Chain A
Amino acid sequence: MFRATWKSLLARKVRLLLSGLAVVLGVMFVSGAFVLTDTLGRSFDAVFADGFSDIDVTVTAKPKVAVSEHEGEQVATPVPASLVEQVKQKVPAAADAKGVVNADGARLIGSNGKVVTSFGPPQLGENWLGESDLVQLREGTRAPRADDEIVVNAALAEAAKVKVGDRVGVLTLEPKKEFTLVGIFGYSGGRDSMGGVNEVAFTTPVAQRLMLGKPDTFSSITVTAADGVSPEKLRDDVARELGGSYEVKTGKQAAADQAASLKEGLSFFNKVLLGFAAVALLVGTFLILNTFSIIVAQRTRELALMRAIGASGRQIIGSVVLEAVVIGLIASVLGLAAGIGVGALLAYLFGKLAGGLTLAGLGVPPAAVIGAFAVGLVITVVAALLPALRASRIPPIAAMQDVATPDRPLTRVTVSGAIVTAIGAVLLFLGLDGHAGDNTLATILGGVLFAFIGVALLTPLISRPVVSLLGALFAWSVPGKLGRLNSGRNPRRTAITAAALMVGIALVTGVTVILDSAKGSISALAEDTIKAELVIAGAQSGPRPPSFDPTVLEKAAAIPGVQLVDGEYGDMATVNGTRTWVAASSNVAALERIFGGKATAGDISRLGPDQMLFSSDAAKSRKVSVGDRVTVQLSRGEARTYTVSGIYQSSQLTNPVVLPPQAARDFAIPQPIQGFVQLAPGARVADVQPQVETLLADSPEVSVADRDAFIKQQTSQLDTPLRMIQILLALAIVIAVLGIINTLALSVLERTRELGLLRAIGLRRAQTMRMITVEAVVISIFGALLGVVVGTGLGAAVVQALKDEGITDLVLPWGQMGVFLGLAAIIGVVAAVLPAVRAARINVLGAIAHD
């Protein structure tokens, strides 16, 4: 039995290759994700370990507000400068102590007048601590001595295209200041940066003022141990001396902690990649299921013969499953190898993009290996089970009969399809309607999965009318007509091939519907509400939003024709013990006059320095009302108590909490992020805009645009995630294309004689190819059509569920849907190429002589 299986496997290696390829791609995605995140993780470990290599102990204050990696950069609470002397004098184990200023938000203006942006790594502003084993000034450059001198790291100098001697502008907590670049530094081993971080180093007093906003403070203190003292002992001594209000860590600990917070972001990234791998694998499962079904159908006689000569049904199942195991194993090995390659390539690209992250050696984490084999084997075997079961039910008599695959009725598959779809719909409803509590995401994903499988099961029934209708488009020529008939010939095969394509297209369509609806709803709301003709804002590229000089606000208010100017500040704060986004307006009146805010309690038109406003939703969930006293801890400064003086109607355009403008000083970014300019009746945008523009000369991160351009720019920020999702889902579509190629190739093989006959009675090669192409195009358009319909349904359901979150308008991306259908036609043509060539090359004589 084993021998027979092995022989038949070898005989059909080409057929199995394509379905194996689907598993390879899925496994590649899984192991690639692990290899990528592992390599990056270890690279960051190395960077931090390096950065802390000559630090024995570091002292910091606990941050006022914890901010996670994807919310922005956390602001460290400064420690008083007096601590340096205290440690030096009172801790005998300490040989030396240094105050370090080191904070995100030093933005260098490049020679082109634009701020050098970062896509992730921070833009650090520091005090120059001199050269060390790690930090080295480049030839011909020197340390900053005067207050208007800076040095920058080589990667930043390169990116900004500035050289020693240039006057360069730097944005910090304060608006643009000019400095002379006197030095450029790098790191040991000729590195231009530490993991792509941009660094600007000032003299210590300047760094304290610009980066911490307070003289005589440091971000941290680094302590060097006296000879013979271990870092651990030093840490304990320092901690004892300073008491509990400081965090004292060894350099090793600090490196590990910093790396850990970055790795949290990486593991999120890993999960996202694995999610896409899951989609690819779902599609791959369809493909393998289909291949095995076709192969079992084609081997009916062979299997029946085996039954006739005494093989048991169980042995038949065993032989099919054994085939699956072999394919799964081979595919897992190949997928793992490809995944390691892809992971390494992506890590390399990531390193480049992040501005020269030195990659740790490529490693293959156990998770990649285990994941690859588990996924590859399980998927293949699960997909082969159904066909194996069917194979075991082939009666021995089939060996003697001519009809290879009797037309089985579609009742059972349709009924089970209806049930599975219904389960999917119920799960989706529960998940989206918020009945699933903590399991919401799992419930929704389960619902989507069931919906896909259910629809796939219903597809054979749907395929009959739809395929014949689609095929009618091509039935004007003989090859077209034959192709159309072929595509309707085996509804199950057509259906599952199309369903594989459906999954990818449905997800893309669904995501597009949701994001387009979100965009549409937000712009509609903004257009209806915002009463400002001009808006000052910039495009955000990294974790830090662009900001501008607050004095622009007063100057803009003085421009003739300007009626009202408002600058908006934002921060992550702790309000009565829980974290939330808070805002401050330079002009609180704007809430009513620009953003259409309506008071539901108290007064929202003015705000004293000790007062604050809540949105109605936030007030409700936090159970606060007018007159309550609320404690707010901002990124900087001490906690303060405010009195709630008003509550306004919640809307998409307003923040949950509004603080007085004075509070913005203690925000992580103490500068306005957006500015809104309302014109007096009769004033012209064209007159005012250029004047505001001039005011922004020293705020290169932002520009002034009219309101519609601003809304467009804000909503277009959703385009990037949309594009990324589309690119990642393209893999699922690629696998589906493999599925179409596979199905066609198998069909061509199965119809060798028929093709030979057609060629014998005069079908030209080109006509043969056209026939196959029509079949492919009909199948792929059918799949895309299903995908568009299912995706629109899913998207619409999510949009419906998000009504309360402000996505009120369902926007259907008709253009995109048209593109998908057109794309499907192209996919069909591409997928048909190989099978069509193969069909056209069929040797007429060989086909007829085919036993």
Chain B
Amino acid sequence: MTATVGPQVQAAARASDVWKVYGSGEAQVVALGGVTAEFERGRFTAIMGPSGSGKSTLMHCLAGLDSVTRGTVSIGDTMVTGLGDAGLTRLRRDKVGFIFQQFNLLPTLTAQENILLPMSIAGRKPDPAWYDTVIDTVGLRDRLRHRPAQLSGGQQQRVACARALVARPDVIFADEPTGNLDSRSGAEVLNFLRNSVREHGQTIVMVTHDPTAAAYADRVIFLADGQIVSELVEPTADTVLDTMKKLDAPAEVAH
């Protein structure tokens, strides 16, 4: 199964028949087996699936962090597959934002410096109005001078979100951004991500294995054993959970 959008919506990121194979011979692992997917501009897409299904691998390939074994990946109109280190660095700097599960911030820098870091690296100045908007939405104005060690996990993730947003990248990739948070802090972060899509047209691709988190997205793509097996639009926690159960069922039936 493939997950594509109609031609009327332009894709912010696209994977065409992407294969990712680790190792060789006996130890060979097919992490992705021919994934074709498009991620619409201005939407919040979640990639769901059980542990080991290839979610992170897909995201890494999409973001140009990892190379694909076969197939192509593009972001906007940039063909990611085939770019060298310099090209990939430029891509990450100018077009992509990241939020990882943990360890998102440099311990030596303050929250504000962390937020502005990608722009300083690129030698760009943030749009002051946008910067203010971002800071206010993450609600961290009084914590800007603090270092990561002085912030809670939820606050740290919000700083990471702000950092990804300030540069207005074409796509933000988030790998289990709430995986390490309690449910309240997690909800804060997810709300914030959804708002940035709804209000500011940011494109976000989020990997998660938590149905509640996936329900914040506009669309959910389901992966199992390295392949796209299902898709949901306008999901709720219940529909996501149902789909997950259904996906597990055939395997049980097979026995």
The residues of A with any CB-CB pair to B shorter than 8 Å are 403, 478, 482, 485-486, 489, 753-754, 757-765, 767, 844-845, 848
Q: Are A764 and B108 in contact (CB under 8 A)?
A: no
Q: Are B109 and A759 in contact (CB under 8 A)?
A: no
Given contacts A848-B65, A848-B100, A759 and B89 within 8 Å (CB-CB): yes
Q: Are A760 and B86 in contact (CB under 8 A)?
A: no
Cβ-neighbour of A761 out of B98, B107, B123 (below 8 A): B98
Contacts of A760 in B (CB 8 A): 65, 92, 98
Binary A-proximity of B56-98 (CB < 8 A = 1, otherwise 0): 0000100001100000000000000000011001101110011
Given contacts A478-B120, A478-B121, A848-B100, A763 and B107 within 8 Å (CB-CB): no
Contacts of B123 in A (CB 8 A): 478
Cβ-neighbour of B109 out of A403, A485, A764 (below 8 A): A485
What are 21 residue pairs bridging A and B, where the CB atoms are less than 8 Å apart in the complex? A478-B120, A478-B121, A478-B123, A482-B108, A485-B108, A757-B103, A757-B105, A757-B106, A759-B92, A760-B65, A760-B92, A760-B98, A761-B98, A761-B121, A761-B163, A762-B92, A762-B122, A765-B86, A765-B89, A845-B66, A848-B100
Closest 9 CB pairs of A and B: A762-B93, A485-B108, A761-B118, A478-B120, A845-B65, A762-B92, A845-B66, A762-B121, A764-B89
B104 at the interface (CB under 8 A from A): yes
B215 at the interface (CB under 8 A from A): no
Contacts of A759 in B (CB 8 A): 89, 92
| Besides the known contacts A761-B92, A762-B90, 20 further A-B residue pairs in the complex with CB atoms under 8 A apart | A478-B121, A478-B123, A489-B108, A754-B103, A754-B106, A757-B105, A757-B106, A758-B117, A759-B89, A760-B65, A761-B93, A761-B98, A761-B163, A762-B93, A762-B121, A763-B89, A764-B89, A765-B85, A767-B121, A845-B60
B149 at the interface (CB under 8 A from A): yes
Contacts of B65 in A (CB 8 A): 760, 844-845, 848
Contacts of A478 in B (CB 8 A): 117, 120-121, 123
Q: Are B108 and A486 in contact (CB under 8 A)?
A: yes
Assembled-state Cα–Cα distance A758/B123 (Å): 14
Contacts of B105 in A (CB 8 A): 757
Which residues of B in the span 13-43 have a Cβ within 8 Å of any Cβ on A? none
Give min CB distance, B88 to chain A, whole Å.
Answer: 8
Q: Are A482 and B122 in contact (CB under 8 A)?
A: no
Contacts of A762 in B (CB 8 A): 89-90, 92-94, 118, 121-122
Residue of B nearest to A753 (CB): B103
Contacts of B109 in A (CB 8 A): 482, 485
Assembled-state Cα–Cα distance A403/B90 (Å): 33
Assembled-state Cα–Cα distance A767/B97 (Å): 19
Residue of B97, B108, B122 ringed by the most chain A CB atoms within 10 A: B108
Interface size class of B (residues with CB under 8 A): 20 to 34
Give min CB distance, B221 to chain A, whole Å.
Answer: 21
Q: Are B121 and A763 in contact (CB under 8 A)?
A: yes
Residue of A478, A482, A758, A760 ringed by the most chain B CB atoms within 10 A: A760
Q: Are B106 and A758 in contact (CB under 8 A)?
A: yes
Give min CB distance, A755 to chain B, whole Å.
Answer: 10
Contacts of B122 in A (CB 8 A): 762
Residue of A nearest to B173 (CB): A760
Give min CB distance, A128 to chain B, whole Å.
Answer: 79
Give min CB distance, B231 to chain A, whole Å.
Answer: 26
Contacts of B97 in A (CB 8 A): 761
Assembled-state Cα–Cα distance A765/B97 (Å): 18
Contacts of B106 in A (CB 8 A): 482, 754, 757-758
Contacts of A848 in B (CB 8 A): 65, 100, 103
Contacts of A485 in B (CB 8 A): 108-109
Assembled-state Cα–Cα distance A759/B106 (Å): 12
Residue of A753, A754, A757, A761 ringed by the most chain B CB atoms within 10 A: A761
Residue of A nearest to B122 (CB): A762
Q: Are B86 and A764 in contact (CB under 8 A)?
A: yes
Given contacts A403-B149, A482-B108, A754-B107, A761 and B117 within 8 Å (CB-CB): yes
Give min CB distance, A317 to chain B, whole Å.
Answer: 29
Give min CB distance, B123 to chain A, whole Å.
Answer: 8
Give min CB distance, B128 to chain A, whole Å.
Answer: 19
Contacts of B93 in A (CB 8 A): 761-762, 764
Give min CB distance, B86 to chain A, whole Å.
Answer: 7
Give min CB distance, A489 to chain B, whole Å.
Answer: 6
Assembled-state Cα–Cα distance A486/B108 (Å): 7
Residue of B nearest to A844 (CB): B65
Residue of A nearest to B65 (CB): A845
Give min CB distance, A846 to chain B, whole Å.
Answer: 10
Give min CB distance, B183 to chain A, whole Å.
Answer: 20
Residue of B nearest to A755 (CB): B106
Which residues of B in the span 118-142 have a Cβ within 8 Å of any Cβ on A? 118, 120-123
Assembled-state Cα–Cα distance A425/B254 (Å): 84
Assembled-state Cα–Cα distance A764/B66 (Å): 16
Give min CB distance, B74 to chain A, whole Å.
Answer: 19
Residue of A478, A754, A765 ringed by the most chain B CB atoms within 10 A: A478
Contacts of A763 in B (CB 8 A): 89, 121
Residue of A nearest to B63 (CB): A760
Give min CB distance, A742 to chain B, whole Å.
Answer: 21
Assembled-state Cα–Cα distance A489/B106 (Å): 12
Contacts of A758 in B (CB 8 A): 106, 117, 121
Contacts of A764 in B (CB 8 A): 86, 89, 93, 121
Give min CB distance, A521 to chain B, whole Å.
Answer: 50
Contacts of A844 in B (CB 8 A): 65
Contacts of A757 in B (CB 8 A): 100, 103-106
Assembled-state Cα–Cα distance A848/B66 (Å): 11
Residue of A nearest to B106 (CB): A754
Contacts of A754 in B (CB 8 A): 103, 106-107
Give min CB distance, B165 to chain A, whole Å.
Answer: 13
Contacts of A765 in B (CB 8 A): 85-86, 89
Assembled-state Cα–Cα distance A85/B221 (Å): 120
Contacts of B149 in A (CB 8 A): 403
Residue of B nearest to A759 (CB): B89
Assembled-state Cα–Cα distance A486/B93 (Å): 22
Assembled-state Cα–Cα distance A403/B108 (Å): 14
Residue of B nearest to A754 (CB): B106
Assembled-state Cα–Cα distance A486/B103 (Å): 17
Contacts of B121 in A (CB 8 A): 478, 758, 761-764, 767
